[in-house]
């Protein structure tokens, strides 16, 4: 059976638009919260069987067109010898701020990059219906570097921004290591069963376009080219970075995914050859099923169905009512 998500990535006409939800296996699900009472996030994502169970959880409730492997953007970091924990976001034991920090990074054994994620993908793939796509993912080099340099998620990452200004050559070396590792990691995920991959650039918007172009773009581009050369369809998600959206739309990727701030219809008009993903404001779902249905219909009415993957513009919020998720999916199905 055809996978709607892959048809949309190729911008092929389809019976309806595919839909999945960022963080669809997450805290808004009572069964996930139940499981989390017994296991930490790290324990869940570190155990392939449990991670596969969690990956499949939302598929049991909702008719979604993709599963995304349950892992964290930090999951491949142990391959570089980086120690971290969650509180609740990633907290890095030894932030990298000098050459010693970069030189200390391990040369990863290609077979030992997050093996639990590869196993979770294989288990999920075997259990997944043929028409549901399986997504792998990773953090963009810059977004990973944000945690590695700052040490944890801090409003606007000032230490990272100062580091980028003061030590551009060091940042370059770090991004290069991360870009290489992410290339191998995504190819590994495809080999383990992922049909396509999403690169999360959650902190894309911290720098100006000029600085982004000089410092960050080459590493993101190189990662995308590596993955593209392996024939793997690429979704690039940029969050809170409207000033970079044109630059991202020109990157070598099949799909550009944006947060709720962007006008998706306008993006389709400007880049007709590009598939798009998004971009319902996840906060709308807090307002209940009626508001959700209305917003989804507005989105569907204003955008070209070809090459549009429906999603939220950011991860679903923990306090989201299940009824709103149902309304979202129904509205998408109702269009056909």
Q: According to CB under 8 A, which residues from 23 to 82 bind a copy of itself? A: none
Phi first, then psi: what are they for 151, rounded to 5°? 100, -30
SS3 62: coil
Nearer to a copy of itself, 158 or 334 (CB): 158
CB-based contacts of 282, cutoff 8 Å, min separation 6: 260, 312, 313, 314, 315, 316, 317, 320
Nearer to a copy of itself, 283 or 300 (CB): 283
195 is catalytic: no
CB 141 within 8 A of CB 178: yes
Q: Using CB under 8 A, which of 205, 278, 289, 307 touches a copy of itself?
A: 205
CB 152 within 8 A of CB 91: yes
- N residues, the chain: 336
Tell me how far CA of residue 238 lies from CA of 203, 259, 277, in angstroms: 8, 7, 11
Tell me how far CA of residue 242 lies from CA of 129, 204, 207, 247, 261, in angstroms: 36, 10, 11, 10, 8
CB 18 within 8 A of CB 8: yes
185 is catalytic: no
295 is catalytic: no
Nearer to a copy of itself, 188 or 205 (CB): 205
23, 177, 234, 274: which one is catalytic? Answer: 23
72 is catalytic: yes
Nearer to a copy of itself, 181 or 299 (CB): 299
| Alpha carbon distance 331, 336 (integer Å) | 10
**Counting contacts by CB under 8 A, is residue 300 touching a copy of itself?**
no
Give the contact letters, 273-292, x = binds to a copy of itself (CB under 8 A), - = no: --------xxxxxxxx--x-
Give the contact letters, 137-166, x = binds to a copy of itself (CB under 8 A), - = no: ------------------xx-xxxxxx-xx
**Least distance in Å: CB of 63 to a copy of itself?**
25
32 is catalytic: no
16, 36, 122, 167: which one is catalytic? Answer: 36
Interacting residue ranges for a copy of itself, rule: CB under 8 A:
155-156, 158-163, 165-166, 205-210, 240-243, 260-263, 281-288, 291, 295, 314, 317
Which positions are catalytic? 23, 27, 36, 72, 147
């Amino acid at each position: 059976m055809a996978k709607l998500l892959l048809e949309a990535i190729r911008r092929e006409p389809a019976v309806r638009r595919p839909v999945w939800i960022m963080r669809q296996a997450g805290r808004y699900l009572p069964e996930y919260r139940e499981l989390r009472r017994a296991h930490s996030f790290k324990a869940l994502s570190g155990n392939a069987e449990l991670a596969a169970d969690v990956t499949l959880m939302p598929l049991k409730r909702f008719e979604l067109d993709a599963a995304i492997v349950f892992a964290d953007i930090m999951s491949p970091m142990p391959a570089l010898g980086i120690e971290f924990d969650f509180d609740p976001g990633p907290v890095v034991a030894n932030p990298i701020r000098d050459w010693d920090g970069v030189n200390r990074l391990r040369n990863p054994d290609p077979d030992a990059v997050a093996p639990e994620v590869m196993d979770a993908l294989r288990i999920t793939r075997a259990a997944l219906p043929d028409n549901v796509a399986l997504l792998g993912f990773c953090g963009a080099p810059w977004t990973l570097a944000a945690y590695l340099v700052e040490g944890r998620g801090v409003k606007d990452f000032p230490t990272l921004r100062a580091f980028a200004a003061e030590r551009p050559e060091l940042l370059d070396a770090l991004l290069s290591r991360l870009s290489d590792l992410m290339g191998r990691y995504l190819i590994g995920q495809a080999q383990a069963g992922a049909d396509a991959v999403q690169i999360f650039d959650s902190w894309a918007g911290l720098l100006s376009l000029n600085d982004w172009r000089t410092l960050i773009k080459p590493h993101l581009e190189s990662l995308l080219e590596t993955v593209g050369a392996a024939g793997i369809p690429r979704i690039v998600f940029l969050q809170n970075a409207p000033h970079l959206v044109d630059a991202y739309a020109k990157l070598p990727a099949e799909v550009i995914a944006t947060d709720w701030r962007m006008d998706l219809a306008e993006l389709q008009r400007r880049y007709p050859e590009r598939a798009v993903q998004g971009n319902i404001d996840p906060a709308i779902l807090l307002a209940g099923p009626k508001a959700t249905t209305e917003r989804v219909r507005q989105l569907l009415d204003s955008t070209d169905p070809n090459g549009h993957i429906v999603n939220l513009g950011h991860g679903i919020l923990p306090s989201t009512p299940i009824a709103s998720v149902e309304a979202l999916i129904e509205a998408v199905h109702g269009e056909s």
